[in-house]
């Protein structure tokens, strides 16, 4: 599995802690981590939580990554931004119990965490425990187990509703402010990671044009 980290400007200073905690857990499981920034509060490319959602949707719809780990001060803004975009199913995760239930019941493809709330002493241990509950073992098995079938059915219904209520990604990308889009994909590592891993030629072509490649 390819997992992306996306950090917004108010919590960018914690990017390194997040990356270390995530890699500690998932790399021994055989997963890859791609850090799309922000890497520090001083980065020239500054991402808002709105741009987190745009970037998450580009990465997931192109299959450049399979899962996105993002967040903001409360986690709510990044979650709302992600869920406003096509193809993104993002949960607000505060603790390992949230992570377990989201993985087993909702089986989404992104989480948003509150990096300004309760992020004190031993915060990296909470992050590691969250990532273990998300990425160890199989997701989508249901909890409690006897409700697994109805939970899987509801996930399918939600995917259909999302597809009906959202336009396709390229239509959305063309309609939003192009300066906002350009800023969302201006990170130092974006081009290196995205074009190597994207599996959607149409999305790659549009993004390439936006970047003037």
Provide the number of structural domains found in the chain.
1
State the pLDDT confidence band at 155, using cuts at 50, 70 and 90. very high
CA distance 134 to 96: 8
**pLDDT tens for each residue of 6-57:** 999 999 999 999 999 999 999 999 999 999 999 999 999 999 999 999 999 9
**pLDDT tens for each residue of 129-143:** 999 999 999 999 999
Two tokens, residue 115: 């990096």
Between the alpha carbon of residue 96 and those of residues 102, 129, 132, the distances in Å are: 10, 6, 8
CATH code: domain of residue 84? 3.40.1400.10
Task: Name residues whose C-beta falls within 8 Å of residue 56's C-beta, 6 or more positions apart in sequence.
Answer: 4, 6, 68, 70, 82, 85, 88, 90, 110
**pLDDT tens for each residue of 114-132:** 999 988 888 999 999 999 9
What pLDDT is stored for residue 213 in this prediction? 85
Q: 């920034």: which residue's tokens?
A: 37
Domain region containing 149: 2-211
13 CB neighbour count, 10 Å cutoff: 15
Long-range contacts of residues 97-105, Cβ cutoff 8 Å, at least 24 apart: 97/133, 98/130, 99/129, 99/130, 99/131, 99/133, 99/134, 100/133, 100/134, 100/143, 101/143, 102/134, 103/133, 103/134, 103/139, 103/140, 104/139, 104/140, 104/141, 104/142, 104/143, 105/142, 105/143, 105/151
């Amino acid at each position: 599995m390819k997992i992306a980290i996306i950090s917004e400007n108010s919590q960018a200073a914690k990017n390194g802690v997040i990356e270390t905690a995530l890699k500690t857990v998932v790399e021994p499981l055989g997963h890859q981590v791609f850090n799309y920034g922000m890497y520090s509060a001083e980065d020239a490319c500054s991402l808002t939580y709105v741009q987190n959602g745009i970037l998450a949707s580009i990465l997931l719809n192109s299959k450049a990554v399979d899962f996105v780990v993002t967040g903001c001060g409360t986690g709510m803004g990044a979650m709302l931004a992600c869920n406003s975009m096509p193809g993104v199913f993002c949960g607000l995760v505060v603790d390992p119990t949230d992570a377990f239930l989201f993985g087993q019941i909702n089986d989404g493809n992104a989480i948003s965490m509150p990096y300004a709330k309760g992020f004190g002493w031993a915060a990296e241990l909470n992050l590691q425990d969250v990532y273990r509950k998300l990425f160890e073992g199989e997701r989508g098995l249901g909890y409690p187990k006897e409700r697994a079938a109805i939970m899987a059915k509801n996930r399918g219904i939600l995917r259909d509703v999302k597809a009906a209520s959202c336009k396709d990604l390229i239509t959305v990308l063309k309609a939003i402010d192009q300066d906002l889009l350009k800023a969302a994909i201006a990170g130092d590592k974006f081009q290196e990671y995205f074009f190597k891993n994207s599996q959607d030629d149409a999305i790659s072509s549009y993004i390439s044009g936006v970047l003037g490649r």
